[in-house]
Structure 1
Amino acid sequence: MRKRKNPAQQKAWGELLLLINDPEWYLNPEKCKRHKILMDIIEYQEPIVLSTDEKHQRYLDNRPGLEDTVVKMLLEKKLSKEIRDELKMDFKVIAFCRRKYNLNPKIRTKKQS
């Protein structure tokens, strides 16, 4: 479904129609520059902002088998540092896998003497 144009795009569209009303507008360099600017305004789309979890999931989706490998290593009780060193990946992706599969490690505390 197409989105409604915002006021700036509507204004640019009106100006563009007036600009191209001249059959030889493309011969004038100033009009060509203005045409390019107006088209950029009209065709502008808001960038899609992904959450960090979506970014990590997309990272894993683009690397088939990596997610399974990370989960398998987490189930083998390997440390995140070991996984990172072996697979050459970011801690944040490993932490994402821990959260996703609820594989939170037990918190290790120092023994007090």
Structure 2
Amino acid sequence: MKAVFGVGLLVAMISAPALAIDGPALYQQHCAKCHGDTGQADSWRGYMYFSRDFSSMRWQAANTDEDILADIDRGPRIMPAYKNKLSEAERNALVQVVRSFGKP
């Protein structure tokens, strides 16, 4: 009985870190090509597609987390929609990354 409990606990401990969502890695994979590594839309694609500059305090103040999530979900303009590509938790992690670019 103790061995079964011990194995179950070990599996739970090994699996727990795998459940953590790495927002910055998701951002690099899905967003940085257009919005830049620092959210300033300073990549060639950012310039070409007029991508949003997430470091703009004016833009940050004008948009709620729900607004940002809606843009991630539906993909405004040329941006792809991620509602059916990423989980809700992953999309919310991206919102937090976008918010982090607006901090002085």
TM-score w.r.t. the length of structure 2 is 0.25
The structure number with the bigger radius of gyration is: 1
Q: Which has the higher contact order (CA 8 A, sep 6+)?
A: 2
TM-score w.r.t. the length of structure 1 is 0.24
